[in-house]
Amino acid sequence: MAVEVPNVLEKFSASAIQAINAAREEALRLEFNQVDTDHLLLGLSHETRGVIARAMQKHGVDVRKLRMAVEQISGRGYSMIRQEDLMFSPAALRALARAAQANPTLVESQDLMTALLRDPENRASAAVKQLGLDPEAMTDTLAWYTRDDSVPAGDVEVLPSRFTMRLLTDSARRVVAHGEEAARRFGHTLVGTEQLLTGLLAAQDTLAWEVLAANGVAGLEVEAVAARVIGRGSGTVEGRLTMSRWTQQVLEQAWAEARRLKHTRVGTGHILLGLTHLDVGGALYILDHLDINLAQIRYDVEQAFAAASGDPEPAHAYPPEEDDLDGALLEEAGAEP
């Protein structure tokens, strides 16, 4: 079935497009040169809210289990290709077209999932069967939740047990990006905790940056200690850098802190909490060397979260004092304080 992908995707909702982009990332991760139906299934499984999340939770399916099933069936592609050069397989194109035909007004994620599972010959159905599930039972569940209006799909969020980069707030993403930049500057191939600390200081006007600055942690001092103690690497690599084992532990702890505080995203404050809980790593050495009080940092972050309940990225760690606020209001009004 010939189909123009850009024209078809004009009918897809934002969440469906997000799932397709996640499918591209999965295809690249598995080193394939095209996006197949199993990659689309993996992309859809990244959703944390709505009909698909509820259906997958009911059947006990998560991204990790699906990845294992997909790799058992399809293996790895061993093809190095840029994301912009990825193509869609014929089976994936058929699924996109069927989803568009099934819902010509606006294609939702569950429409694409249903189209995948109703083709018994594609890799997506094979992956579901590999998990011991019946694709028809999955489509029935999707249909049930689509019809069920008792709980609006957007109000239910199924939170993953493990950290993924998709959980980061925009500010936290800036932290990771600055950390990668720091690693490249120092010629390192991994993003260590010291680079993560540098990223927290480089992403200004965030909760973590404000707390660190108030506790006497300065970016230049951190980089100076890192250069003296850790030194420069022998080079870096193309593409996205890998997080070190300790950095991964920090991010996992950050997600645990977010869940403890009943937040659904990981902000810069959670990352800072995760960093201060680590017993090893370059960042901990640097903070010890600078004689920084980690307990005070943790207290300040906790207080900021307590004052902004439900917000994973509070605007201020230290709200202005009442006198300062009154003066600022008077100044704004053009009056003498």
Residues 259 and 224 in one domain: yes
| Statement to judge: residues 201 and 117 lie in one domain | no
Say if residue 166 is exposed, middle or buried (CB neighbours under 10 Å; 0-12, 13-18, 19+). Answer: middle
Q: What phi-psi label fits residue 4: left (phi over 0), alpha (psi between -120 and 50 degrees) or beta?
A: beta
Instruction: Calculate the alpha carbon distances from 48 to 154, 166, 199, 212, 262 in Å.
Output: 10, 10, 27, 32, 15
Same domain? 73 vs 202: no
Residue 177 lies in a domain: yes
| Distance of alpha carbon 14 from alpha carbon 127, whole angstroms | 25
Residue 313 lies in a domain: no
Total domains in the chain come to 2
- 147 and 12 within one domain: yes
Whether 81 is covered by a domain: the verdict is yes
Together in a domain, 23 and 138: yes
Q: Read off the pLDDT of residues 278-305 as tens digits, 9 standing for 90 and up.
A: 877 788 888 888 888 988 999 999 999 9
How many Å apart are CA 227 and CA 286, to the nearest integer? 11
Whether residue 119 is contained in a domain is answered as yes
Asked whether residue 332 is assigned to any structural domain, the reply reads no
Is residue 20 included in any domain, yes or no?
yes
Q: What is the pLDDT of residues 44-86, one digit of tens each?
A: 988 877 788 888 888 888 888 888 899 898 888 777 777 667 8
Tell me, what CATH number does 69's domain have?
1.10.1780.10
- 179-220: per-residue pLDDT in tens? 998 888 878 888 889 899 999 999 999 999 999 999 988 878
pLDDT band at 330 (very low <50, low <70, confident <90, very high): very low
173 shares its domain with 148 = no
pTM of the model: 0.52
Contacts of 330 (CB under 8 A, 6+ apart): 336, 337
User: From the CA atom positions of the chain, what is the Rg in Å?
Assistant: 23
- Choosing from 120, 155, 190, the residue where a domain stops is 155
Question: Residue 323: pLDDT above 60?
Answer: no
67 domain-assigned: yes
144 and 59, same structural domain?
yes
- For residues 138 and 279, state if they share a domain: no
Residues 133 and 22 in one domain: yes
Task: Using the 3D structure, point to which of 107, 131, 155 is the last residue of a domain.
Answer: 155
> Which residue segment(s) compose the domain that 96 sits in?
5-155
188/285 same-domain check: yes
Between 193-202 and 282-289, two packed helices, what is the crossing angle to 10 degrees?
A: 60
Q: Which of these, 336, 192, 312, lies nearest to 263 by C-alpha position?
A: 312
Rounded CA gap, 335 and 337, in Å?
Answer: 6
The pLDDT of residue 300: 92
49 backbone dihedrals φ, ψ, rounded to 5°: -145, 165
What does the block give as tokens for 264?
């659904």
DSSP state of 165: G
CB 124 within 8 A of CB 38: yes
**Do residues 107 and 180 share a domain?**
no
- Residue ending a domain, among 93, 120, 155, is 155
- Indicate if 211 and 134 belong to the same structural domain: no
The pairing of strands 242-243 and 87-88 is: unpaired
Is 322 inside any structural domain?
A: no
